[in-house]
Amino acid sequence: MANMFALILAVATLLTGIIWCLDRFKWAPARRIKIEAIRLETDGKANGQALANVARQPGWIETSVSIFPVLAVVFILRSFIYEPFQIPSGSMMPTLLIGDFILVEKYAYGVKDPITMTTLVKTGTPQRGDIAVFKYPLDKNVDYIKRVVGLPGDTIHYDVSTKMVTITPACPTNKDCQPAATLEYTPLEKSSWFMGFEPAEGGNRQMATRFLDTKTEAERAKGMRGIFMGERNEKLGDKLHQTLVIPGAGSSVDEYYQQAGSSAATWIVPQGQYFMMGDNRDNSADSRYWGFVPEENFVGKATGIWMSFEKQEGEWPTGVRFSRIGGIH
């Protein structure tokens, strides 16, 4: 869908640009010549309405000429500088919430062809801890957003009981190798986020989770059955961020992506690829389930929240969260 919009925008910009060039360098000069010829024929006494009729552009040309500069600016900004994205799910909570509108720095990892995603100029590589938007490896028409956890060559292990990540960094030959290290974590604490189920029609319980910030929506949590989530800080390199887990909930390693030659819940990141995880660890479909993200799939780095609406998945906004507007980490 995102690629289709980029294609439509590119085609519209190209067509209106061609019309703009034709009008500026061919049709407009021809109109001026006709106006001058009429003035000469009438000794400068030509009717103003007649001159206006000669100078008038056809409607479709006037419209194309008017919108081309706008389309050109939008195309350049969106394709090569910044692109807006909406957060549709809770997989990156509490860092990013449903209803957040973010800006993604398109040139962070390279200047790319917006249609084919071919890198034209390489400007950098994803770094551990970055929040990045990328094309879902199993369907490149879908955009995903996750945090970069594993770099090329890293060995990643996820402990399904403690829900902690261990990383053994890649080690070049004849170098002092770093041992495997569990990431730095603060103690697990009760979060202000509540996950529960609401009553549905017919007396059944609706099997769709809702995440409520009980500081502002405590009343909505009343009458719901569920649990408060657990929260702790995780340090990736020099970057500290919060993660959410469901206390007591486990996951089966049988559901995880099994890499040939590796143990269960352990992955060796291939060269040119990355291991991505959501901050909402028990509610994120990420590299643990479908594997690695090739570098060419990266769209850009998430850098800021420019608008945030109070909403739940599939619902209309009920307000604006002004306090969330700003940078993200």
Residue spans of the domains in the chain: they are: 2-80, 143-327
Check if 146 is active-site.
Answer: yes
Residue 146 has a CB neighbour count (10 Å cut-off) of 23
Check if 66 is active-site.
Answer: no
Q: Two tokens at 309?
A: 């609406």
The span from the CA of 110 to the CA of 88, in Å, is: 25
The span from the CA of 300 to the CA of 131, in Å, is: 9
Q: Which fold has domain 143-327?
A: Signal Peptidase I; Chain: A, domain 2 (2.170.230)
* Cβ atoms of 279 and 147 closer than 8 Å: yes
The pLDDT value recorded for residue 54 is 63
Sign of torsion over alpha carbons 92, 208, 257, 188 = positive
Distances 284 to 33, 90, 93, 144, 163 between C-alpha atoms, Å: 66, 8, 10, 11, 13
Active-site annotation holder among 106, 112, 135, 146 = 146
The pLDDT value recorded for residue 208 is 42
* Cβ atoms of 126 and 302 closer than 8 Å: no
The pLDDT value recorded for residue 63 is 92
The pLDDT value recorded for residue 104 is 97
The pLDDT value recorded for residue 182 is 80
pLDDT in tens, the chain (329 residues): 557 888 899 999 999 999 999 989 998 888 888 777 776 767 666 666 666 666 677 888 889 999 999 999 999 999 999 999 999 888 999 999 999 999 999 999 999 988 888 899 999 999 999 999 999 999 998 999 999 999 999 999 999 999 999 999 887 766 667 777 788 999 999 888 887 765 555 544 443 455 555 455 555 555 667 788 899 999 987 889 999 998 887 778 889 999 998 999 999 999 999 999 999 999 999 999 999 999 999 999 999 999 999 887 778 888 999 999 998 87
**DSSP track, 146-206:** EEEEE-TT-EEEEETTTTEEEEE----TTS-PPPPEEPEEPPPEEEEEEEEE-B-GGGPBP
